[in-house]
Amino acid sequence: MAAEFTLFTVELLFVLGVSLACVVGFLYIGAEILQGDQLGIDKKAFAFAHRIVSPAMNAFIESVTFFASQQFITPAALLLIAYFLFIRKHRWHSIRVPVVALGSISLNLVLKHLFDRPRPLMPLVHASGLSFPSGHSMIAASFYGLIIYLVWKNVKRPALRNMLVLLLALFILLIGFSRIYLRVHYATDVLAGFSAGFLWVIISLKLLRSLEKFSKKEITPVLMEEEDKKT
C-alpha cells in the first residue's frame, strides 16, 4: 500500500510539474513571438544544424520527420484504434487515440493562425503554411506522448517499460530537431509545439479518465439491477 501511494504521488507530482513547465514555456515563447522578437536560441539552433549538414544526414533526418507526418500518423492511429477495439477489447483506449491525435491537429491549426508567424527562409525541403507552433513537434509530443502513457500503464516489466519510455522520449526530441535541421521551423516553434502537445495529451487523458470513471459509476448500478431482475 505504501509503495503504491508513493508511486501515485511521484506520478502526480511529475504530471503537475510537466504541465506547469508546458504552460509557462508556451506563454513565454508565445509572448516573445507576438512582440516580433527573435530569440537567440533560434539562431544558435540553425547554426548547429548547419554544421552537421550532409547528404547522409539529410536522408536520415527526412526519414525521421516522416514519422510525425500526416501520411504516417493517420494510418498509425487507425491501426492503433483497431488494435484496442478488436484485439485488446479496450474501448476507452480506442477513444483516446483519435481524441489526442485529432485534437492536437485542430489545436495546432488554431494556434498557427493566432500567431501568424512565417516560416524560416531557405528551407531544405518544401513546407507550406505557418510556422508557430511546429505541427510535427506538437503531433509527435501528443501522439507518442500517448504511446508513452500506454506503455507506462500496460508494460509490467520495469526495465522494459523504462527503456521504451526513454526511447520514445528521445524519438520525440529527434523529430523536433528534424524540423530545425530542415529549416522549416525555428527552435522556438519546436519548443512551443512540444509544450502544447504534451499539455494537450495530459489534459485529454485526464478528461477521458474522468469520463471513464463517471460512466462506470452510472452504468454499473443499472447492469446490476438488470441482473437482479433476471435472477
Per-residue pLDDT for the chain (231 aa), expressed as one digit of tens each? 666 667 667 777 878 888 899 999 999 999 988 887 678 899 999 999 999 999 999 999 999 999 999 899 999 999 999 988 888 777 778 888 888 888 899 999 999 999 999 999 889 998 888 999 999 999 999 999 999 999 988 888 999 999 999 999 999 999 999 999 999 999 999 999 999 999 999 999 888 888 877 776 544 444 344 445 554
Q: 68 burial class (0-12, 13-18, 19+ CB within 10 angstroms)?
A: buried
**What pLDDT sits at residue 8?**
64
**What pLDDT sits at residue 196?**
95
**What pLDDT sits at residue 216?**
66
Residue 70 in any domain: the answer is: yes
**What pLDDT sits at residue 1?**
60
Residues in the chain: 231
**What pLDDT sits at residue 185?**
95
Q: State how far the Cα of 30 lies from the Cα of 226, in Å rounded to an integer.
A: 54
**What pLDDT sits at residue 221?**
44
**What pLDDT sits at residue 14?**
79
Residue 9 in any domain: the answer is: no
**What pLDDT sits at residue 135?**
94
Q: State how far the Cα of 132 lies from the Cα of 117, in Å rounded to an integer.
A: 6
Residue 1 in any domain: the answer is: no
Domain range for 174: 16-214
Residue 226 in any domain: the answer is: no
User: Helix crossing, 70-82 with 135-154: angle to 10°?
Assistant: 20
Q: Are 73 and 139 in contact (CB under 8 A)?
A: yes
Q: Are 68 and 175 in contact (CB under 8 A)?
A: yes
**What pLDDT sits at residue 15?**
82
**What pLDDT sits at residue 227?**
47
Per the structure, the count of domains in the chain is: 1
Residue 178 in any domain: the answer is: yes
Q: 90 — phi, psi (to 5°)?
A: -115, 95
Residue 230 in any domain: the answer is: no
Residue whose C-alpha cell is 539529410: 58
Residue 166 in any domain: the answer is: yes
Strands (E), the chain: none
Residue 150 in any domain: the answer is: yes
